[in-house]
Amino acid sequence: MGGEGKLTKDISYGSVLGRKNDIMNKALGIDYAAFEISPLAFDYEGMMNNTAYSLEETAAIQKQAGVGNTPLFELKNLTALVRANSPSGKGARIMVKDEAANPAGSFKDRRASISVYHAREKGYPGVIAATSGNYGAAVASQAAMRGLKCIIVQEVFDSKHIGQPEIIEKTRKCEALGAEVIQLTVGPELFYMSLLLLEETGFFNASLYSPLGISGVETLGYELAGQVRERYSQDPAAVIVTHAGGGNVTGTARGLLKAGCIDTKVIGVSVDLMGLHMASDYDFNRKSFTTGHTGFGVPFASWPDRTDVPRSAARPLRYLDRYVTVTQGEVFYVTQALAEVEGLERGPAGNTSLAAALAIASEYDQDEIVVVQETEYTGAGKHPMAQLNFAKNMGVEIRRGDPAENVPGKTIVIPERFSQLQVTDQSLGKLRRSYLRNSLESSKITHVSKEEVDFLAAETRTSREWVVQILKELK
Amino acid sequence: MDLKCKPGDWVEVHGIIFEVQDRLASLPEETRTVPFEMWIKGFALDECEKGQLCSIKTVTGRIIQGELTEVNPGYTQSFGPAVAELQRIGSELREQLWGVKEN
C-alpha cells in the first residue's frame, strides 16, 4: 500500500533510512551541525538558546493556545494518609499540577503548542508526530487550532490485530481532533513510516525531542515554582516527574532552574517494566503502560540520541537528582485513591509520579512540599478498569497483595494497604556509566579531549575527575 | 456491518508495509516472523467489497490504496466490568482517614 503517483523515489527501508538526514533537515529546519563541537561533544545550551523561543515567548505562545496556567491542588487527604503511615513529624504536603486541564488533556500540549506554532510561522502545510502517547492528541489539538493538517503515526496492534485499549483511545482522540492516524503493528519500522510520510507530505516534524518540544515544558517547572512560592512562601523540596523519553524531566528541571529553585530535588519515576522487550509482538499487549516506563526511561537516559532528531534536547542525566521505579499495581491503586479521596479522576499513566510521591513524601518533614507535576485525562480505554480488564484477558494475573511480588507481563499486584506503597531506587551511577560507554561507541573516538571531558561531566552531572576515572575503567 | 462501500463512505483500509522476509533482522523472533501492517481511515473513492483493493482520500488529502476492512469504522474501547481488585480501595482509605467502616 502506498500513495498513488509521485512515488518516484526508492522507498525501500535502506533507501529511506539513507535519506534520513536530508528528510530531517527539511522537516525541522534546525541546523544541528552548527552546534557540533566534535564527533562526541556539542553545545547543548547553545542549541537550546538559539533554536527555541525564550521562556517569555513560549509562555505567550501557550497562552494564545489555551495551554498552561493549570491549577495546583493540595492533596490534603492523601497527605494525611502519608502522615498516618510515616514516622512522627514526617510526611511533606503533596501538591499536584493538574495538567489534565490543558486543551487535549495532558502536559504534552506544552510541547505541541510550540512545535505547531513554529511550523505555522515557517509556512509548513502540516505537522507529523510519531507517538502512541498523549502527545498525538496534543499535536492534533494544536494543529486544529492553528489550521494545519496533522498526521499521527501510532504503534497500536499486535499481529492478531489486538490493540491496547489505552492506545485505541488515543487513536480515537486524535481522529476526533481532525488528524489522520496511521495505525501500525509492533516494530521500530514505525520510524521508517514517519520518515516516508515527512518526505511525501513536506510536513513539519513535530518531534518530541526538538528544542521546541523541550522548551515548551519549561513553563511547567517555572509555573509550579511560582504557584508554590505565592501560596506557601517557600520552594518545593522535591518535584516528582514521570520519566520516559526524558523531555518531561529536562523541561521541568530547566523551568525550575529558570525560576531559581536551585535546591529543589528533581526525582524521575518510571513504571517498572523490566524484562519486557519493547519490540516484542508478544510482550506488547502484556504491559498495562504504554509510556512512562523503564522500557523508555532507562535507554533514553543512558543514550538520549536514539530519537528522531540528530541531537535530542531531552537530556535527563543533566538534571536528575534521583531515579526511582514503581510497579503497575501501585499506579492503579493510587489512581483509584486520587479519585475516591481527592475527587480527581485522572488517567493512570499520568499518576506514575503520584505513586512515587506517596512513598517519597514520608522521607520529608511535614513543613516541606513535594510536587507531582502532572495529571492526564481519563476515559474509556484509558482507565484502570479498561486496562486491568484487558490485562486479565491477555492472561496477566491481577490480585491484591504485596506490590513487591509484581512481575512485569505476568502479575499485577494491587497493594492491600496504603503503607505498602514504596519506590525502588535505580542507580544513577550505572546509567551515567552506561551513557559514557554509549557515547564512546557512538562517536568512535579513541582519545577524549579536555573539552570533551567537560562535556561528558555536564551530560552526566558529575565531575571531570569522575569522568576521567570511568573512561579509564571502560578502556 | 456493511460489506460494501460506495464512493464518499467513511472506511478503513489495510495494507502490509513489510512482508516477513523484509523485516529487520534485529527484531525478536515473534516480531520478525509476522508482517508489519498498517490501517488508515478515509473517504472511499471507489465502490468496493470488503477485502478488495480500495482507494481512499484521507483527511489530510492523501490518496491511499489498501484492502477494504471496515465501512463506518468505530471504536470498541470501553471500561468493561467492575474490577474486584479496585472496588474496595476507596472504602479502605476512607476508613483509615475518618474511621468509618463502610463494609
Q: How far is CA A234 from CA A268, A384, A422, in A?
A: 22, 35, 26
> Domain range holding B25?
4-75
CATH number for the domain whose boundaries are A13-60+106-211 = 3.40.50.1100
CATH number for the domain whose boundaries are A65-104+215-426 = 3.40.50.1100
Q: Which residue of B has its CA nearest to A169?
A: B77
Window 23-82 of B, Cβ < 8 Å to A? 23-24, 27-28, 30-31, 34-42, 55, 58-66, 75-82
What pLDDT score does A8 carry? 63
Query: Does residue A5 have a pLDDT over 70?
Result: no
The b-or-e profile of A367-402 (16+ CB within 10 A means b, else e) is ebbbbbbbbbbbbbbbbbbbbbbbbbebebebebee
Window 337-366 of A, Cβ < 8 Å to B? 337, 339-341
Q: Residue A414: which of B41, B64, B85 has the nearest Cβ?
A: B85
| Rounded mean pLDDT, A41-69 | 96
Average pLDDT, chain A: 95
- pLDDT, tens digit, for every residue of A397-427? 999 999 999 999 999 999 999 999 999 999 9
- Tell me: ipTM over 0.90: yes
A151 contacts A120 by C-beta, under 8 angstroms: no
| Rounded mean pLDDT, A275-286 | 94
A21 contacts A181 by C-beta, under 8 angstroms: no
Query: Does residue A473 have a pLDDT over 90?
Result: yes
**B96 within domain boundaries:** no
- pLDDT, tens digit, for every residue of A200-220? 999 999 999 999 999 999 999
Question: How many separate domains does chain B show?
Answer: 1
What pLDDT score does B2 carry? 57
What pLDDT score does A378 carry? 98
Count CB-CB contacts under 10 A for residue B81: 9
β-strands A397-401, A126-130: how paired?
A: unpaired
What pLDDT score does B81 carry? 97
Supply the DSSP string of A189-254, one letter for each residue: THHHHHHHHHHHH--EE--TTSHHHHHHHHHHHHHHHHHHHHHHSS--SEEEEE-SSSHHHHHHHH
- pLDDT, tens digit, for every residue of A118-174? 999 999 999 999 999 999 999 999 999 999 999 999 999 999 999 999 999 999 999
Please report where in the chains the cell 529511506 appears, as a residue: A16
CA distance A442 to chain B (A): 18
Q: How far is CA A327 from CA A64, A66, A423, B21, B86, in A?
A: 38, 34, 8, 37, 15
pLDDT range class, residue A7, cuts 50, 70, 90: very low
Query: Does residue A55 have a pLDDT over 90?
Result: yes
What pLDDT score does A229 carry? 98
A236 contacts A158 by C-beta, under 8 angstroms: no
Structure-derived torsion over alpha carbons of residues A444, A445, A446, A452, reported in degrees to the nearest 10: -140
Classify residue A308 by its DSSP letter: S
Please report where in the chains the cell 479522576 appears, as a residue: A345
| Residues sharing a CB contact under 8 Å with residue A111, sequence separation 6 or more, in sequence order | A135, A138, A208, A212, A213, A214, A216, A217, A247, A251
Tell me whether residues B79 and A180 touch, CB distance under 8 A: no
CA distance B57 to chain A (A): 10
Residue of B29, B58, B60 to mutate when probing chain A, most A C-beta within 10 A: B60
Contacts of B23 in chain A (CB under 8 A): 187, 189
Structure-derived torsion over alpha carbons of residues B27, B31, B36, B41, reported in degrees to the nearest 10: -130
Q: Does an H or E element contain A320, and which? A: none
Q: Does an H or E element contain A140, and which? A: helix A134-146
Please report where in the chains the cell 505541541 appears, as a residue: A112
Window 214-273 of A, Cβ < 8 Å to B? none
pLDDT range class, residue A3, cuts 50, 70, 90: very low
Classify residue A90 by its DSSP letter: B
- pLDDT, tens digit, for every residue of A357-370? 999 999 999 999 99
Spatial CA neighbour of A274 closest among A314, A328, A344: A328
Query: Does residue B100 have a pLDDT over 90?
Result: no
Selection from A290-299, A444-453, B12-21 with the highest mean pLDDT: B12-21
| Rounded mean pLDDT, A227-232 | 98
Spatial CA neighbour of A86 closest among A346, A353, A368, A321: A368
**B9 within domain boundaries:** yes
- Here the CATH number for the domain that contains residue B61 is 2.30.30.760
What pLDDT score does B1 carry? 52
- pLDDT, tens digit, for every residue of A70-89? 999 999 999 999 999 999 99
What pLDDT score does A52 carry? 87
A371 contacts A240 by C-beta, under 8 angstroms: yes
Count CB-CB contacts under 10 A for residue B47: 12
CA distance linking residue B31 with residue B29, whole number of Å:
5
Residue A158's φ and ψ, nearest 5 degrees, are -85, -175
User: Would an 8 Å CB–CB cutoff place B103 in contact with chain A?
Assistant: no
Tell me whether residues A189 and B24 touch, CB distance under 8 A: yes
Least confident of A176-190, A285-299, A369-383: A285-299
Count CB-CB contacts under 10 A for residue A440: 17
Q: How far is CA A399 from CA A50, A388, B84, in A?
A: 52, 10, 9
User: Would an 8 Å CB–CB cutoff place B21 in contact with chain A?
Assistant: no
Tell me whether residues B89 and A186 touch, CB distance under 8 A: no
Average pLDDT, chain B: 95
The reply to whether domains A13-60+106-211 and A65-104+215-426 share a CATH topology is yes
**B69 within domain boundaries:** yes
β-strands A369-372, B4-5: how paired?
A: unpaired
Beta-bridged to residue A414, according to DSSP, are A400
Percentage of residues of chain A with pLDDT beyond 90? 93
What pLDDT score does A9 carry? 80
A271 contacts A283 by C-beta, under 8 angstroms: no
Residue A223's φ and ψ, nearest 5 degrees, are -60, -45
What pLDDT score does A307 carry? 84
Q: How many Å separate Cα A188 from the centre of its chain?
A: 18
| Rounded mean pLDDT, A447-467 | 96
Cβ–Cβ pairs < 8 A, chains A and B: 169
What pLDDT score does A228 carry? 98
Structure-derived torsion over alpha carbons of residues A340, A344, A346, A350, reported in degrees to the nearest 10: -100
Contacts of A187 in chain B (CB under 8 A): 23-24, 27, 31, 36
Tell me whether residues A385 and B80 touch, CB distance under 8 A: yes
Tell me whether residues B93 and A169 touch, CB distance under 8 A: no
Q: Is B8 left (phi over 0), alpha (psi -120 to 50) or beta?
A: left
Please state the length of chain B.
103
User: Would an 8 Å CB–CB cutoff place B86 in contact with chain A?
Assistant: yes
Q: Which residue has the higher pLDDT, A475 or A304?
A: A304
Supply the DSSP string of B47-80, one letter for each residue: -EETTSEEEEE-TTS-EEEEEEEEES--------
Please state the length of chain A.
475
Q: Does an H or E element contain A435, and which? A: helix A428-443
Spatial CA neighbour of B60 closest among A192, A127, A1, A129: A127
Least confident of A3-12, A233-242, A420-429: A3-12
A183 contacts A156 by C-beta, under 8 angstroms: yes
Query: Does residue A61 have a pLDDT over 70?
Result: yes
Q: Which three cell numbers stand for residue A445?
A: 573516538
Query: Does residue A446 have a pLDDT over 90?
Result: no
Count CB-CB contacts under 10 A for residue A430: 12
- pLDDT, tens digit, for every residue of A187-201? 999 999 999 999 999
Q: How many Å separate Cα A128 from the centre of its chain?
A: 18
What pLDDT score does A368 carry? 98
